[in-house]
């Protein structure tokens, strides 16, 4: 039995769900569908489903829906995770080799799940892709404000506006016990390679190596922002001196003052980000 978990807030997810149901029905695969109604519904439903024993749960949506499903799994060793990408960015899906829409069904009907790392972010929170603080939070908050006003803004458009106004934040970053301080544009723990709908923030990251890529990007002078922005878009920022990267298993990111953190594009209020890599427990259908 496959349990399809859907956030029905977008036309894309409903369209992809209809296509997926047609494929599953044609192949005589047993499945059921759960549609969320409010924030937190998905995690609660997945927790209920996975508490009964080994269960296969399939997120139908984007990175946010995938995050909620992952967070809801009661025991990662007794659940199998699948994804039918139906979001706008689908950043983790692209890194994991999962095709968009109903084509992803072939992965969990004809293949075997593979162990996939994830980030334990404390307090019951998890991240499969990227968890971070800094300008990425400012960007997401800007997008949310526009959405609340009934307007749309792309991630990249918001990035350009945030770069003009953003001020660097001093952060203490501790990686496997080694502490350093930075005035950063962004600090993040990366399991995946990209965020914001395809921006390659950490191209070297590997999703099953048992390590997280902890990065800190210094805030450059505004005159150099166009140069570094081009490097970021081309996936070459990590080769520049403002980019600091270390492989580790556990990390603390402590900003000056209270900030929001983003976990796979979902915002949460926090005073710090404490992250541990979890390897060899979660099985996921992917490329």
Mean pLDDT across the stretch 193-215? 96
Q: Is 19 a domain residue?
A: yes
Q: Is 287 a domain residue?
A: no
| 160 vs 24: CA distance, rounded Å | 42
Domain of 81 in residue numbering reads as 2-111
pLDDT at position 188 is: 96
- Decide if pLDDT at 217 tops 90: yes
Question: pLDDT digit string (tens) for 6-42?
Answer: 988 777 889 999 999 999 999 999 999 999 988 789 9
| 134 vs 166: CA distance, rounded Å | 9
For the four alpha carbons of 146, 35, 190 and 262, in that order, the dihedral sign comes to positive
Q: Which residues does 100 contact at the CB level (< 8 Å), separation at least 6?
A: 16, 85, 86, 90, 93
CATH number of the domain encompassing residue 102: 3.40.50.10330
pLDDT at position 10 is: 75
Q: Which residue has the higher pLDDT, 202 or 108?
A: 202
Under the banding of pLDDT at 50, 70 and 90, the label for residue 151 is confident
pLDDT at position 42 is: 95
Domain end position, chosen among 51, 82, 111: 111
Q: Is 116 a domain residue?
A: no
User: 207 with 248, same domain?
Assistant: yes
User: 95 with 135, same domain?
Assistant: no
User: 139 with 104, same domain?
Assistant: no
User: 160 with 78, same domain?
Assistant: no
Location of structure tokens 């699948």: 82
State the total domains in the chain: 2
User: 240 with 180, same domain?
Assistant: yes
User: 163 with 73, same domain?
Assistant: no
Question: pLDDT digit string (tens) for 104-130?
Answer: 999 998 889 999 999 999 999 999 999
Mean pLDDT across the stretch 66-78? 96
pLDDT at position 258 is: 66
Name the β-bridge partners of 240: none
Q: Is 218 a domain residue?
A: yes
CATH number of the domain encompassing residue 245: 2.60.200.40
């Amino acid at each position: 039995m496959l349990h399809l978990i859907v956030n029905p807030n977008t036309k894309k997810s409903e369209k992809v769900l209809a296509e997926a149901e047609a494929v599953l029905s044609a192949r005589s695969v047993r499945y059921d569908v759960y549609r969320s109604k409010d924030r937190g519904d998905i995690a609660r439903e997945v927790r209920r489903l996975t508490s009964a024993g080994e269960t296969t749960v399939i997120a139908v949506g984007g990175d946010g829906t995938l995050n909620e499903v992952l967070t809801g799994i009661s025991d990662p060793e007794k659940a199998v995770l699948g994804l039918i990408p139906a979001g706008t960015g689908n950043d983790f899906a692209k890194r994991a080799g999962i095709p968009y829409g109903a084509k992803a069904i072939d992965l969990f009907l004809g293949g075997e799940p593979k162990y996939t790392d994830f980030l334990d972010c404390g307090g019951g929170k998890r991240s499969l892709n990227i968890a971070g603080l800094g300008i990425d939070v400012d960007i997401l908050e800007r997008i949310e404000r526009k959405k609340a006003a009934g307007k749309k803004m792309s991630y990249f458009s918001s990035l350009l506006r945030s770069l003009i106004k953003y001020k660097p934040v001093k952060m203490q970053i501790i990686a496997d016990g080694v502490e350093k301080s930075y005035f950063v544009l962004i600090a993040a723990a990366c399991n995946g390679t990209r965020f914001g709908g395809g921006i390659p923030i950490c191209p070297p990251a590997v999703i099953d190596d048992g390590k997280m890529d902890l990065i800190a990007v210094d805030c450059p002078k505004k005159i150099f922002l166009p140069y570094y922005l081009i490097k970021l878009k081309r996936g070459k920022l990590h080769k520049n001196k403002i980019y600091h990267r270390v492989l580790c298993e556990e990390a603390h990111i402590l900003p000056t003052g209270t900030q929001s953190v983003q976990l796979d594009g979902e915002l949460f209020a926090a005073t710090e980000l404490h992250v541990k890599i979890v390897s060899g427990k979660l099985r996921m259908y992917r490329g």
